[in-house]
Structure formats: structure tokens, C-alpha cells
Structure 1
Amino acid sequence: MKIDIMHALYIVSMILLAFVSAIVITKTLSKWLKLDEKEKDEEEDDA
């Protein structure tokens, strides 16, 4: 019984870790994309 509980906790923690990492990755990607857009806008203003 103890092994089943530990296994369930492991699975739940892995799922939570996957969700958190996905959120962090999407936020960092959106930041990078926004930074790229700002740089492109600045280049167009200079031209």
C-alpha cells in the first residue's frame, strides 16, 4: 500500500512539474518574441 501511495505522489508531482515547466517555457518564449518585435520596430524607426 505504501508503494502505491508513493507511486501516485510521484505521478502527480511529475504532472505538476510538466504543467509548471510548460507555463514557464511559454512565458519565456512570449518574452523573447516580444523583445524581437521591439527590436524590429526600432530598426524600422531608424530606417
Structure 2
Amino acid sequence: ALLIDPQTCGPLLAAVPAHQAPALLRAMGAIHHGGTIIGRVQANQD
């Protein structure tokens, strides 16, 4: 999933599978766009 706020043209928020995150960060770095992991989604434990 990819989200953007059109009012501010601010940063993008992407939800990617955890195993793909390192490759995405490398690809973003290769085109001079920084990125960072800001959280994780976990299954409900109930």
C-alpha cells in the first residue's frame, strides 16, 4: 500500500512485506531518496 497527502505533497508512506523492506530501502537509496522503517504490523493476539 502506498499513501500520499495531496494537500502537502509530503512524504510517502508505504506498507511492504518485512522481507522486502531491505531491498526497497536499497532501491530508494540508489535513486537518492532516503527511507526508513517506522513501524511494523502484527497479527492480533486475541
Higher RCO (CA-CA < 8 Å; seq separation 6+): 2
| TM norm structure 1 | 0.30
Q: Which structure: greater strand fraction?
A: 2
Bigger Cα Rg? 1
Q: Which structure: greater helix fraction?
A: 1
